[in-house]
Chains A and B, each alone.
Chain A
């Protein structure tokens, strides 16, 4: 990803524009790179959902390129990983590369980077996708730097262009515009995608594939960082924003930190999760784990109610997967009305309590009637 220009440049934002037209043939040694890969994040006995979402998207890319889709799965026990590989086949993978070793029981950057780069250098994928989780981001940066190839973070759209090249689209300039990035002359083309940007593909029970083992040529003594312990989050502390069916969120249109409870009250009546836009985190009105948008959580609820949120691109890309977006904003020209389905040009601080009451009443009346 090209970072925002470091030195004064003419005519921003044409970052790299002059090179975009530069067409060079892919160097000979990269031509052997084929197939689409997804890193399968397997921890604490389960596959992270983002890996399955990426198998769905990777399948589309592989079909377009007419190549195979492979998962790479790294961990401690062969049998556990075999079961996980079977799950990958049912979600669209044709094969899985498996690296298992007691050393790999816990994620550590050094051991996972070694496992990953060895498999890439041996089997040479053209496209390699990872989930933009804390683990995926930690690993992707190391692997890309070790391989000296391009890496595009937090993509919101992946496509194949006319020249078989990966076109990775992501928000840029603090989420105010989108850009499409290519890794022209290097392989693999690497990209990360945040959880919930893509939906879960349909599972095809019984679909099979091949497992290819690759050894980890490493000893515990050579790994410098040791895991002393792992303290799991308490279930109640984890906010389930990303997977909630209904989400209510607030923005600066609420005008004060005190007014944020209006969002929480409505969420409570609906059994919904609540969150907010980035400025609210910066102002300290909500904690970072409640942030919705490009740099926070991406959500795919059935109903999303955005109260007093203007709808900057960085917010938009985090909520566009919602089935129904209801926006409440006093500004009829707010960008949120470009992608919301239903709009209420009104003051959120007045509408929210009225909505809370109306829902509460409707639900209690119907409950008694029912």
Chain B
């Protein structure tokens, strides 16, 4: 079985700070990580390979420094890593991103065999769109299985895969025919740790690096800013409400007094809430 896992190196959003005066992102010193949702599917890919045999190819599009994330994936146990990097890709929106990744997956297909499963993270923590996975599926005509909570099994000789998928109000159990594109929800599994030996090997491993031309991208006008139908017109911080919060005078008071102050203030602002609470309390 050949499995391709698409990952993205993202800034650790927990550590992003916005400059209070200029409202610009302060990137300096913000560490990058592998998008956490990508690790969920990478782990699943490694488990499937361990159970059914085959290889796992990890693919990312990004700047040259995204190589670090790929090496981490090799440490975890991926068999090979491909970096798609080209200045033409800069500023890609999700449509342009899925176009470029699709070209690379076709090239991977020609080079190492057709993938049975393409995995993508449910969404990234920087863009949060959840659109690139479905974009790849549409372009490659793969069956699209998103928000999967569990892969029940794979029947390789019949190309069949059975999954449980988080749907609105319940779980859909689906059976499909590979090749498929799968995204998975958090909590499905936990990433294994790589060994020191694997880390050392990964540090020396070859990272296959492709430019747009190397990957066989046919139409450069579909890449990067030019290929992106969406345009960011403005980036801004939201204004504070005209009035800041009314601060209750709590300084130096014990917790009991603070609580009493809040109750009084709340019931004054929202008399109806007191009635509702009474109703709730008497209903118990």
Contact = CB atoms under 8 A, between A and B. Distances in A.
Interface of A: 1-9, 11-20, 22, 41, 43-44, 48, 106-107, 109-110, 113, 133-135, 137-138, 140-142, 144-146, 148-154, 167, 171-186, 224-233, 238, 245-246, 270-271, 279, 282, 287-288, 294-295, 302-303, 313, 316, 323-327, 332, 336-346, 350-351, 353-355, 357-359, 362-364, 366-367, 370
Given A137-B134, A177-B236, 13 more contacts: A2-B230, A3-B92, A48-B168, A110-B144, A141-B133, A173-B16, A175-B128, A179-B233, A225-B145, A228-B175, A231-B171, A338-B245, A344-B262
B233 A185 contact: no
Interface in B99-129: 123-129
Contacts of B128: 153-154, 171, 174-175, 294-295
B247 A345 contact: yes
B273 A302 contact: yes
A183 B230 contact: yes
Question: Which secondary structure dominates where chain A touches chain B?
Answer: mixed
A162 to B, nearest CB: 12
Given A7-B90, A176-B25, A142 B246 contact: no
B268 to A, nearest CB: 11
A324 B133 CA distance: 38
A153 B133 CA distance: 14
Interface stretch (B41-49, B69-77, B200-208, B276-284): B276-284
A194 to B, nearest CB: 11
B246 A343 contact: yes
Contact of A145 (B86, B138, B177, B256): B138
A31 to B, nearest CB: 16
Given A2-B228, A339-B240, A20 B234 contact: yes
Contacts of A282: 14, 36
A227 B176 CA distance: 9
A22 B145 CA distance: 38
A192 to B, nearest CB: 9
B169 interface: yes
A17 B125 CA distance: 22
Contact of A150 (B172, B229, B234): B229
Nearest to B234: A180
